[in-house]
């Protein structure tokens, strides 16, 4: 996986340039005159083509857990998006710098007691808020969305401009710990008891690997060990095989609470090998035809072939032929031309515009969720072989 990331110093420099729009951070003011008739945040009741009927609240919290094979606690922070009826207050500020007007920090939730859950995993060297186009959209449609910052693999904790595959043993455990945290919230927490047992996972790049692992893919450890010994694989992959970690990978990371997976531009084809066929839950796999970071011929295509080899007929792949790796994130909006790798892999004029790609990917992804979690027959029609894609660069593949 040849994926460069922002070092801490580079991230600080980018923030200092003013690329992050900062806004008023006044103390919260109480909302007034909220129309109660707007209380239509029931998931599945609104059109997928629009931002949902709910306002969006945001929280940033932390917890600890002890990973497998270790004795010291691992600290995790999580971003949480959820529906609210509040229309004013303090705007959310992501990573302390990017102000999101209309996203209300610590707003009062307006959730039904059985809200579906999406857990999102960010890419290598990124952050939990990297794909707010997706997480905010889901919350506006009544979803409870939670996303961990993968400790040691965020842009403010990584020191070098390279992928850190050693994080691969922690990331899926972070997902399970995040779900444990959500379902064990104290009674006085405003989101306590609001999460249903309908759970989906999504992630971008290294987060897509994380999604696949948490969905039940097995790892080709023996093959990977042999290739590392023979020098037949990129040495970066051998970072996965740290001391005492082989048994952890052999056991796998399946979290059987997860019902649907939506990986976006995944990597790890050689790590999983044939193990993707072990995934039993429905998978909507997004790939990018112009991906330079994780090219389809190296990652997307073999991952799909392994996935479809399983005895399942509910998987779908959508390849956007003129998309780049970072099309499936807000990194183009946040960093744009300031970071060469991002600018050259999804942000230029040769790629599909984000204002087309992101809304349509939201539509198909939410339809996939409604089809498999809510038995939405209308949504199902988008995933039949005779479906005509809503954009001519969206190419569907079925098992």
CA 346 – CA 292 distance, rounded (Å):
9
Per residue in 161-180, pLDDT tens?
A: 466 788 999 999 999 999 99
pLDDT above 90 covers a percentage of the chain that reads 71
Of 155 and 148, the structure prediction assigns the larger pLDDT to 148
Per residue in 178-194, pLDDT tens?
A: 999 999 999 999 999 99
Say which residues have a Cβ less than 8 Å from residue 38's Cβ, sequence separation at least 6: 53, 85
The per-residue pLDDT for 160 is: 53
Residue 2 forms part of a structural domain: no
Say which residues have a Cβ less than 8 Å from residue 266's Cβ, sequence separation at least 6: 205, 208, 209, 211, 212, 285, 287, 294, 299, 300, 303
pLDDT band at 378 (very low <50, low <70, confident <90, very high): very high
Per residue in 284-294, pLDDT tens?
A: 999 999 999 99
Residue 392 forms part of a structural domain: yes
Domain with 203 in it: 8-21+37-397
The helix or strand, by DSSP H or E, that contains position 15, with its residue range, turns out to be helix 8-16
Residue 26 forms part of a structural domain: no
Domain count along the chain: 1
Residue 251 forms part of a structural domain: yes
Mean pLDDT, the chain, rounded, equals 87
Residue 265 forms part of a structural domain: yes
CB 122 within 8 A of CB 207: yes
Per residue in 227-279, pLDDT tens?
A: 888 888 888 778 777 677 889 999 999 999 999 999 999 999 999 999 999 99
Please say if the pLDDT value at position 106 is more than 80: yes
pLDDT band at 156 (very low <50, low <70, confident <90, very high): confident
Least trusted range by pLDDT, from 31-45, 228-242, 307-321, 377-391: 31-45
This prediction has a pTM of 0.90
pLDDT band at 21 (very low <50, low <70, confident <90, very high): very low
Residue 110 forms part of a structural domain: yes
CATH number, domain of 161, equals 3.40.50.1820
CB 205 within 8 A of CB 278: no
What's the rounded mean pLDDT across residues 65-84? Answer: 96
Residue 328 forms part of a structural domain: yes
The helix or strand, by DSSP H or E, that contains position 62, with its residue range, turns out to be strand 55-65
CB 63 within 8 A of CB 151: no
Residue 66 forms part of a structural domain: yes
């Amino acid at each position: 996986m040849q994926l460069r990331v922002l070092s801490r110093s580079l991230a600080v420099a980018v923030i200092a340039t003013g690329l992050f729009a900062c806004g008023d951070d006044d103390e919260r003011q109480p909302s007034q005159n909220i129309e109660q008739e707007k209380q239509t945040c029931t998931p599945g009741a609104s059109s997928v083509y629009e931002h949902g009927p709910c306002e969006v609240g945001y929280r940033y919290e932390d917890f600890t857990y002890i990973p497998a094979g270790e004795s010291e606690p691992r600290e995790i922070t999580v971003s949480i998006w959820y529906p609210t009826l509040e229309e004013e207050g303090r705007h959310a500020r992501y990573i302390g710098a990017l102000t999101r007007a209309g996203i209300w920090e610590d707003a009062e939730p307006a959730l039904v007691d059985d809200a579906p859950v999406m857990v999102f995993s960010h890419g290598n060297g990124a952050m939990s808020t990297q794909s707010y186009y997706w997480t905010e959209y889901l919350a506006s449609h009544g979803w409870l969305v939670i996303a961990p910052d993968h400790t040691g693999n965020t842009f403010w904790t990584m020191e070098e401009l390279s992928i850190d595959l050693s994080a691969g043993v922690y990331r899926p455990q972070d997902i399970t710990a995040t779900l444990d945290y959500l379902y064990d919230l104290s009674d006085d927490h405003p989101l306590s008891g609001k999460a249903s047992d309908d759970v989906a996972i999504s992630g971008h790049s290294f987060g897509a690997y994380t999604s696949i692992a948490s969905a039940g893919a097995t790892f080709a450890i023996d093959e990977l060990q042999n290739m590392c010994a023979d020098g037949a694989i990129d040495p970066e992959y051998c970072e996965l095989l740290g001391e005492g970690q082989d048994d952890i990978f052999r056991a796998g990371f399946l979290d059987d609470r997860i019902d649907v997976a939506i990986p976006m531009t995944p990597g790890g084809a050689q790590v999983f090998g044939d193990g993707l066929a072990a995934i039993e839950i429905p998978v909507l796999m997004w790939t990018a035809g112009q991906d330079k970071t994780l090219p389809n011929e190296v990652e997307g295509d073999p991952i799909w072939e392994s996935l479809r080899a399983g005895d399942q007929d509910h998987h779908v792949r959508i390849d956007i032929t003129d998309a780049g790796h970072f099309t499936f994130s807000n990194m183009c909006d946040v960093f744009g031309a300031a970071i060469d790798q991002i600018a050259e892999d999804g942000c230029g004029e040769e790629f599909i515009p984000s204002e087309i790609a992101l809304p349509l990917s939201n539509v198909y992804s939410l339809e996939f969720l409604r089809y498999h979690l809510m038995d939405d027959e209308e949504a199902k029609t988008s995933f039949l072989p005779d479906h005509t894609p809503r954009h001519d660069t969206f190419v569907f593949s079925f098992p």
